[in-house]
């Protein structure tokens, strides 16, 4: 026994020695991104291998997407070579993301080349990854790696060839620059996929932290023109304040540096994707210059930045997978996304990107939309989180009946309820800020992942203030509830009301999205330009009259339809016994629908309840002395 034991010990020590002295095999990645106008990235990977069967994996489950969204359909022109000879490859007939091959004897390195078409279905959003003027590289699109490897254990030495004269922003550290080719320091595959790069002809970097301050925070901007990336002094002040406010909220930072990557382009936009040390934000070309687009997107960067703590550092167990082939489970997305939505919007107000009134309008719209979700009668909030793979790409028609990614906005309401409950229980001495310090704080340092489960949440909430948090959260998440959870608004000293006055956030959204929203009156929204019904609320007056999504609005009370004309008809309906009459086209047939409706326009707002303390007002107050606005 002893002899065997001692032999075993020797072999273990030998293994440990090998592990210490052998550098990790490193994949060299050379990315040619010089053809952005045609949305082609050319990828060349040199991969250390051993002779025998090998399976290479193209990343399938993309962090932050929470679903198998890796754009493998766009992987084209694949060739695998060793010592100048082609190696035959086969796709696994059951695993579309797996490429199988046989490494010949004597070969210890293979070259894999392929083109990635980036004009459809990119990870993190939709639409192209590049245009004449900008590009946005999500590295998961341009790599393969040995299947079954842990992404932390795969080293990659990346470089990128950019169009001449283009500048770039990324959280990766530069090793060398030669002309338009930038070589980065080797990183794990985890860090590479977590570190997107944006580049463009029009580029600017804005420092958010002072000289010598650590960690460094910057905004890297690329856009379709110099005008598009011209950030106002007020915005710069607000983002500087965002850095200070997150310090006050979380009391620790889990990154070495942080890059807010901001792409101002309508071709390469419509995305927001979180990472540990950066975030990839694409709010559209006019996000800094058009007031409505600015208002609607004000919460984007605070949301994605918050994810560095909530989602990246603290991550639900089911989303903390070992590589990009292992399926994720989304059951705690009402924390990952819902708490981020809550904190992100609160920070949007604390930094001055929204006024308190604009925050209230946003919250009113969120609460109303969820209260008008007909699908609440059959689907729990928790099921919307688990179903992220199904719901993310679901169409808008019957969305209220299907439900959507409701764990974002309803998570916001739930965490507001938790925040106000903590404040009520402690006479406003403690708040969700204390939970954030306990849950997301800890020791500052480089990125790491600390997974959690439901019980960890409940335990930390009980440390802030004892309460039956498990029952409250379970009910909100797993029970079928016919109405939205409005307890947070009411505990906050406010109530949800509907009146004739347009909601500022909704009006801005209508302009940006080119839609007209009559959800809370007749029960539908329509596309401003086409007149197509985007959704019709099940049980609403329009639904009862027989109207459904996909039909097209032609006329209101005998006149060609317009948003203002329909609004005028609603105002007139109050003092009339006549129905609102809509002419609707459906599959080349026209029909008249009479809607017996007399309640006028209805737009959601928050109204103060004077005999209750204004906890919501307290929540929105800045935690720091940094200025909210600068004089211009
Ligand atoms: Zn998010």
Query: Beta-carbon neighbour count of residue 461 at 10 Å?
Result: 23
Find the 276 Cα to ligand 1 centroid distance in Å.
13
- What separation in Å is there between the alpha carbon of 337 and the centre of ligand 1? 5
215 cis-preceded (ω within 30 degrees of 0): yes
Q: What is the mean pLDDT of residues 346-374?
A: 98
| CA 315 – ligand 1 centroid, Å | 12
Q: In sequence order, what E strands does 72-153 have?
A: 75-82, 85-86, 89-91, 98-103, 109-117, 134-137, 145-146
Residue 359's pLDDT is what? 98
In the predicted structure, residue 6 carries a pLDDT above the cut 80: no
Contacts of 51 (CB under 8 A, 6+ apart): 103, 104, 105, 106, 107, 108
Q: How far is the CA of 306 from the centre of ligand 1 (A)?
A: 8
Instruction: Using DSSP, state whether 423 is helix, strand or coil.
Output: helix
> What mean pLDDT is predicted for residues 307-334?
98
Burial of residue 16 (number of CB atoms within 10 Å: 0-12, 13-18, 19+): exposed
pLDDT in tens, 77-100: 999 999 999 999 999 999 999 999
User: Checking DSSP bridges between strand 524-527 and strand 515-518, what pairing results, if any?
Assistant: antiparallel
Do the Cβ atoms of 343 and 414 come closer than 8 Å?
Answer: no
415 alpha carbon to ligand 1 midpoint, in Å? 15
Tally of CB atoms within 10 A around 414: 26
Mean of the per-residue pLDDT values for the chain?
A: 94
Which pLDDT value is given to residue 406? 98
Determine the pLDDT at residue 625: 82
Q: How far does the centroid of ligand 1 lie from the alpha carbon of residue 241, in Å? A: 21
Q: How far apart are the C-alpha atoms of 467 and 222, rounded to whole Å? A: 48
* 123 or 484, greater pLDDT: 484
SS3 202: strand
Q: What pLDDT is recorded for position 269?
A: 78
Longest C-alpha distance within the chain, in Å? 99
Ligand 1 centroid distance, CA of 572 (Å): 42
pLDDT band at 326 (very low <50, low <70, confident <90, very high): very high
In three-state secondary structure terms, 546 is: coil
| The predicted structure's pLDDT at residue 529 | 95
19 band by pLDDT with thresholds 50, 70 and 90: very low
Is the pTM for the entire model greater than 0.75? yes
467: CA distance to ligand 1 center in Å?
Answer: 28
Tell me, in angstroms, the distance from the centre of ligand 1 to residue 340's CA.
6
pLDDT on residue 270: 78
* Cα 62 to averaged position of ligand 1 atoms, centre (Å): 13
233 CA → ligand 1 middle, Å: 26
C-alpha of residue 303 to centroid of ligand 1, in Å = 6
DSSP per residue over 134-146, as a string?
EEEE-GGGG--EE
pLDDT, tens only, 215-265:
999 999 999 999 999 999 999 999 999 999 999 999 999 999 999 999 999
pLDDT over 90 (residue 627): no
CA 212 to centroid of ligand 1, rounded, Å: 30
Share of the chain above pLDDT 70, in %: 94
pLDDT at site 628:
57
- Distances from the Cα of 262 to the Cα of 223, 292, 614, angstroms: 8, 18, 35
Chain centre distance of CA 423: 29
> What is the CA(159)–ligand 1 centre distance, in A?
29
pLDDT score for 120: 65
pLDDT confidence tier of residue 115, bands split at 50, 70 and 90? very high
Mean pLDDT throughout 134-152?
A: 96
Does the structure show a pLDDT above 90 at 510?
yes
pLDDT of residue 22: 54
CB atoms inside a 10 Å sphere around CB 27: 22
CA of 442 to the centre of ligand 1 (A): 22
The pLDDT score that the predictor gives to residue 629 is 55
pLDDT at 588 over 60: yes
Output the CA 117–ligand 1 centroid distance in Å. 26
pLDDT tens per residue, range 162-197: 999 999 999 999 999 999 999 999 999 999 999 999
Residue 450: which pLDDT band, with cuts at 50, 70 and 90?
very high
pLDDT at 13 over 70: no
pLDDT band for position 401 (50/70/90)?
A: very high
How many angstroms is it from 177 CA to the middle of ligand 1? 33
Rounded to the nearest angstrom, the distance between the alpha carbon of 351 and the centre of ligand 1 is: 19
Question: 451 CA distance to ligand 1 centroid (A)?
Answer: 17
Distance, in Å, from the CA atom of 59 to the CA atom of 17, rounded to the nearest integer, reads 32
pLDDT band at 20 (very low <50, low <70, confident <90, very high): very low
Give the distance (Å) from ligand 1 centre to CA of residue 63: 11
Cα–ligand 1 centroid distance for 304 (angstroms): 6
Measure 344 CA to ligand 1 centroid, in angstroms. Answer: 9
Q: Is the pLDDT of residue 632 over 50?
A: no
Q: Distance from the CA of 246 to the center of ligand 1, in angstroms?
A: 16
């Amino acid at each position: 026994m002893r002899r065997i034991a001692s032999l075993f010990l020797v072999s273990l020590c030998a293994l440990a020695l090998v592990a210490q002295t052998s550098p990790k095999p490193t994949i060299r990645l050379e990315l040619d991104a010089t053809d952005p106008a045609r949305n082609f990235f050319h990828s060349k990977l040199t991969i250390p291998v051993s002779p025998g069967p090998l399976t290479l994996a193209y990343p399938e489950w993309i962090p932050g997407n929470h679903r198998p969204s890796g754009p493998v359909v766009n992987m084209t022109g694949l060739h695998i070579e060793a010592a100048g000879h082609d190696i035959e490859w086969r796709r696994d007939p059951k695993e579309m993301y797996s490429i199988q091959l046989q490494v010949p004897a004597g070969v210890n390195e293979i070259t894999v080349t392929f083109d990635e078409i980036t004009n459809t279905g990119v990870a993190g959003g939709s639409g192209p990854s590049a245009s004449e003027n900008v590009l946005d590289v999500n590295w998961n699109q341009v790599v393969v790696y040995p299947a079954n490897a842990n992404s932390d254990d795969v080293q990659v030495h990346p470089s990128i060839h950019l169009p001449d004269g283009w500048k770039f922003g990324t959280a990766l550290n530069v090793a060398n620059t030669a002309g338009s080719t930038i070589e980065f320091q080797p990183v794990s595959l985890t860090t590479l996929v977590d570190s997107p790069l944006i580049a463009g002809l029009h580029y600017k970097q804005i420092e958010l932290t002072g000289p010598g301050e650590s960690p460094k925070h910057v905004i890297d901007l690329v856009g379709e023109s110099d005008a598009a990336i011209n950030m106002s002094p007020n915005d710069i002040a607000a983002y500087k304040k965002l850095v200070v406010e997150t310090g006050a909220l979380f009391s620790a930072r889990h990154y070495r540096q942080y890059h807010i990557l901001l792409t101002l382009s309508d071709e390469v936009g419509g995305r927001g994707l979180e990472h540990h040390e950066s975030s990839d934000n694409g709010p559209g070309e006019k996000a800094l210059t058009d007031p409505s687009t600015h208002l609607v997107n004000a919460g984007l960067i605070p949301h994605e930045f918050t994810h560095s703590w909530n989602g990246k550092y603290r991550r639900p167990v089911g989303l903390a997978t070992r590589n990009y082939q292992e399926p994720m489970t989304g059951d705690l997305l009402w924390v990952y996304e819902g708490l981020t939505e809550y904190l992100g919007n609160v920070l949007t107000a604390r930094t001055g990107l929204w006024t308190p009134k604009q925050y209230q309008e946003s919250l009113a719209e969120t609460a109303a939309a969820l209260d008008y979700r007909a699908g609440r009668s059959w689907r729990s909030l928790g099921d919307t989180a688990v179903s992220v793979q199904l719901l993310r790409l679901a169409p808008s028609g019957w969305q209220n009946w299907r439900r959507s990614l409701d764990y974002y906005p309803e998570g916001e309401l739930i965490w507001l309820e938790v925040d106000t409950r903590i404040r009520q229980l402690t006479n406003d001495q403690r708040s969700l800020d204390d939970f954030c310090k306990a849950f997301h704080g800890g020791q500052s340092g480089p990125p790491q992942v600390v997974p959690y489960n439901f019980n960890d949440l409940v335990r930390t909430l009980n440390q802030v203030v004892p309460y039956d948090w498990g029952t409250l959260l379970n009910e909100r998440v797993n029970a079928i509830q016919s109405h939205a959870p409005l307890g947070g608004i009411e505990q906050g000293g406010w109530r949800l009301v509907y009146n004739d006055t347009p909601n500022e956030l909704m009006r801005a959204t209508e302009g940006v999205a080119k839609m007209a929203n009559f959800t809370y009156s007749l029960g539908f929204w329509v596309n401003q330009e086409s007149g197509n019904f985007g959704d019709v609320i099940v049980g609403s007056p329009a639904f009862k009259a027989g109207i459904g999504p996909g039909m097209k609005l032609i006329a209101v009370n005998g006149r060609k339809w317009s948003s203002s004309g329909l609004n005028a008809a609603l105002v007139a309906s109050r003092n009339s016994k006549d129905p609102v009459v809509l002419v609707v086209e459906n599959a080349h047939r026209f029909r008249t629908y009479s809607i017996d409706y007399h309640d006028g326009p209805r737009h959601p707002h928050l109204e103060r309840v004077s005999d209750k303390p204004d906890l919501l007002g307290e929540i929105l107050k800045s935690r720091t002395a940094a200025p909210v606005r600068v004089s211009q």
